Structure formats: structure tokens, C-alpha cells
Structure 1
């Protein structure tokens, strides 16, 4: 059995609903207080008036219901290795293709309507909004060139934080606080910069050594971050690409996209292959572009939809296929799983 691996080879997923009222098989306590923040931040960015449409109807760029949410669930139906020269569906069209054929994941209209009302209230009341991104403890506070480079590095390395045991999590101490998961990575990057290692400069990280990266990513309890070697390789390769082809700055990549989120996705996939996560589902190559779409969304949020974040087609990207999203949607009864799939997810780690 193969997994829907949305980042790199070796990613592992382990889902299931616990007996208590919590997120299915979530060992990261940081998820629980950020229910609405997580859901809103990954949805297609839009005004409040369109939010229910995203859940219940047809966004203008889509051709059938549920394409946005259909992009998220984990599906185990025959994903295999990729052959060359096959036409790849966009994430939105991939979602449509998969949803129409999925046997083990189902979308529940009643759950969508209920959650849509909660999200709509959160937006209209100011509980959450585009400006909240920069209010997070570890995100850049000033939307400048350094923020662009920070977003690239953190999203380049934003994958696989699961460990085998909850008492052996990857954790990073920064500013007298322990961070886990993605925030542990952000803390490690910020700590490195404070300590004098400019991890935001491609000229620096194209030559980063194993010892240097191990020090940067050092953790509480000496737990090594999963897929360390893969992260080292990606930093070196991406740094060399930026220096060789883009004047040593990711900012130049963004500017070449001329305000198009779709063009930025294409450039990420073309020049930084780790962002191109695809698979074959029922003889059709489909795309997920998890981290690529996260990166676009982070730029949009960081710059409040202005300057380099002023993407005229931002509403055309989908919700990204983060492994937290199915957990949250399952918890809120937006999606349901077949008994066969639930049995697998409760008993085994897939990967």
C-alpha cells in the first residue's frame, strides 16, 4: 500500500479519532487552540461574502462542488510512482477528479454548512483575518525583503515533523519557550539568525555543512528532526539555484511572476522540484502542491495582499493538502471515512 505523500518520499501519516473530544491522533497540543485560525488560513482567500460559497457552492473558477475541500482528505486509492511525460492536472482539477472517484472519503454537506457559519462569524467579528499572520509569535513582523527570504526557507523545509513517540517529539527552545512541529522549525531559523548564521541568505546556505545545519536544528532532548539529510540537500540545491539563476534572492523569483500566484506555483515546481508533489491516481497524474501553495499564501498574508503579495489570481489556488487539515475536517464532521479506511488509520502508520 502506498501513501498520499504530499511533500517528499518518506513522509508518514497516522490518523484516527481518539476516544476523547480531540483531534484525531494529534500529538501536537499546538493544534487544539488554533482550530479556526488553521482552517481559515488554508482556505481560498476571499472576502466574507464568499466564504459560504467556498464550502457550499461553486467558486467561480471551479466546475463542480466540493473541489476545494475534496483536495484535502487522505485517500488510499492506488497512488503509485510517476511515469514521465504525463499531463498533470492542476490542484483544483485534481481535487475534482479524485472526489468523483474516491471510495473511502466522503464530504458531508451538513458539516460544511455548520463549520462555514463558524468561520464566517470568525471573519466578520475580527477573531481572525489576513492581518493575524504577522501577529504570530515567530513570523516576520515587517513585510520586507528579509521576510520574503524567511518565507522561502521555512516553506522549503516545512515537511515531516512526526516522530514515532509523543515523548520523543522534535522540539526547539527559543526565547525561553519550547516549540513543536512547524513552529519548531521557525524557532530554529530565527534562533540561527540571532546567533549570527544568516540562514536567509542563499549565498550562505548553498554551502551549508552538515555540522552547521545540525547545530541550527538542534532540539530539546537531542531528538533529530525527521529527514535531516533531505533538508540539508534541499537547502544546498535551492541556494545554488537562487544564486545561479535568480541573482541570489528569492525576491527576484517572486517579482518575475508579475503578480500571478499560478505563475509562482509553476516557477517553484520548475526550478525547485521538491515543491512539485504529484502522484498517479487511477491512471491520471494529479498534483497537490502543498508547500508551494503554502508559500504563496504566506506571501499574501505577510504583505496583506499588497506589494509582492498582491496576487491578482489568489482566489484560484486551493486549500493545501496539509496533514492537519483532514484531522480538523474529520473532527468537525466535514469529512467521513469508510470503516475500512478508519480501521487502517487507527492501527498503522502509513508510509
Structure 2
């Protein structure tokens, strides 16, 4: 099986899930938010600024409304799939299976790039472009939390969790498992294969770009030692206390942003997924414009 082919075992699992043939608990929980809150409450190197977060929530909601940001925004990108069938699920699975670690060790080094449709694509989009190009040349009970748990249970490459001091259970991040579910939900606009009754249980996807913009907005702050390491471009080891605090506090911060927006706008169709997508796109735009004021942290990992 080549690297760009979907695992037939996983496709069978997904097919069973969407046909409602899996024996899932009535109301499964991923445990991601619970672990994030615990780490945030016990964090000494990453702190949330509640006033800045409240202001950021208002700003984020205003801009999302102005841009009419929704699940439809996902499919609007020229590289994301436009078809809505089982092959699309296989494409998204392959995409998110390979979706990690796109940053360069040295900023001055030449980045990996893909030429496709008369454009050059780098980072995440180089992956999507390569899959689309390959396709052209070669050719659940409806529970979001339940599907995330199945992915983490049956496939080691989705079991993104770490041990944090003072907590018996591992802290679960499940970035790629959650983003797989979120991409399917967004691609199908919450219908058909993308219909999940508990999609709001999916949290922000703990990577390195969203923490960067949360810090830029002042929603999270770093201890002097951690800030110095990030500013120097030092590597934060995967599973270290620094990295766990940074990822967990980002998850909890986006959860609080969501709650504040819902408090101010009870009828708003908003969740952590849409906020994550919006913040990620905004940070990438700032990067393209050369307006980054705080660097992102650097962790070489298969998880993000």
C-alpha cells in the first residue's frame, strides 16, 4: 500500500460508523476538554488572560460574521474536495493521516513545495495539492466523539495523548482524529457523511498556529523561560511540560472564546471547530503578509 492510499481497514470502520452499525456508547466523550481544563488549572508556564479573551471573542465573532465564515468556507478553497461521496471520506482520511509537521527547521531554508494548477503550494496546502494531483494522474451512530474515540483506540497514529504531572489519566489532545471528523463535517456541511449529533464536543485542534495567534491576541501568555525558548526558536520536546501546557491551555482558551460568543449571541451557530478554522486562516494570512509579531513554538511531532 502506498503512502497516499487510504487504509482499507479504516475505511471499513468509517463505513460501518456512517451506516450506524457500530456499537458505541450512548453519549461518548473524547476527554480532550476535561484534560485541557485540568492542565490549564495547574499550568505555571502558560496562563489565560480572561479580559483579553473576552475582547478577542467579540472581535472574532464580528469578523466571522463579516466574512460569513461557516462550514461552507472549508469547501470554498480551490484545493479542498468538491464531490460529496464515499471517495471524499477516503480523501479526507488520507489527507489528515499525513497532516503534520510542516514548519521548517531554519527559516532561510527552501521549503517543500508542490506545483499544481499553475501555482506553487507549501505547507499544509502542498499535501492537499499533491493528493489532488495524484488523483487526477491516477484516474455511527452519527457521534463525532464516538468516531474520534474509535480512531484513537484502533489506530496508534491517532492516539495523541501525554502524561502530565499530578494527573492519573493521560491528557488527550487527539488533534488529527478530531480534525478528521471536523473536515468531514465541514466538507459535507453537516449532512450525509458529515452529520454528527454531537459535533460541538470536538475541541480546537492543538497545533502550533492557533496558540500563536492566541498569544498574538493576548489571550494566552508565557512564562519568561518558555517565551525565551519560543523566541529563540528552540525545540520544545513532544510530551514536555512546556508543550503540554501550551497545547492544553490553547484548547481551553478556545472553549472559553466559544462560551463567551454564545453568551453574547445565544443564537450564533458557532463551535470550537469554526473558531479554530478561522483563527488558523487568520494566522496564515498574517504570516503571508509578514505581520507575525510572536513566533510559533517548535515541536517536531507526528501529532501536528
Shorter-normalised TM-score: what interval?
0.5 to 0.7
Give yes or no for the alignment of 1:180 onto 2:122.
yes
| Candidates 139, 142, 154, aligned match of 1:259 | 142
Q: Among 267, 272, 282, which residue is 2:165 paired with?
A: 282
**Residues in 1 aligned to 2:63 and 2:229: alpha-carbon distance in whole angstroms:** 35
Shift of 1:317: 1.6
TM-score, length basis structure 1: 0.56
Aligned residue in 2 for 1:191? 133
Q: Could you tell me which residue of structure 2 aligns to residue 114 of structure 1?
A: 55
Unmatched 5+ residue regions in structure 2? 1-26, 238-304
RMSD between superposed Cα atoms in Å: 1.8
Structure 1 residue 293 displacement after superposition: 0.7
Kindly state the Cα deviation for residue 342 of structure 1 after the two structures are TM-superposed: 0.6
Match 1:145 to one of 86, 104, 120: 86
| 2:47 is the counterpart of 1:95 | no
Structure 1 residue runs without a partner (length 5+): 1-60, 62-87, 199-256
So what's the TM-score if we normalise by structure 2? Answer: 0.64
The match for 1:349 is: 235
Contact 2:74–2:187, Cα closer than 8 Å, also in 1: yes
Cα distance, 1:112 vs structure 2: 1.1
Partner of 2:46: 105
**How many Å separate the matches in 1 of 2:80 and 2:92?**
9
The question of whether the paired residues in 1 share the 8 Å contact of 2:30 and 2:146 is answered with: no
Partner Cα distance (1:294, 1:165) in 2: 27
Counterpart in the other structure of 1:218: none
The DSSP-based 3-state class of the residue aligned with 2:227 is helix
Instruction: Give 1:313 deviation, angstroms.
Output: 0.6
Residue 123 of structure 1 aligns to a residue in which SS?
Answer: helix
Runs of 4+ in structure 1 off by over 4 angstroms are none
What CA deviation, in whole Å up to 9, does each residue of 1:66-105 have, x standing for no partner? xxxxxxxxxxxxxxxxxxxxxx981111111101100010
Query: In structure 2, what is the equivalent of residue 169 of structure 1?
Result: 111
**Contact 1:89-1:286 within 8 A present in 2 as well:** no
Aligned residue-pair number: 206
Q: Deviations over 1:95-128 (max 9, x none)?
A: 1110110001011112212221122123333431
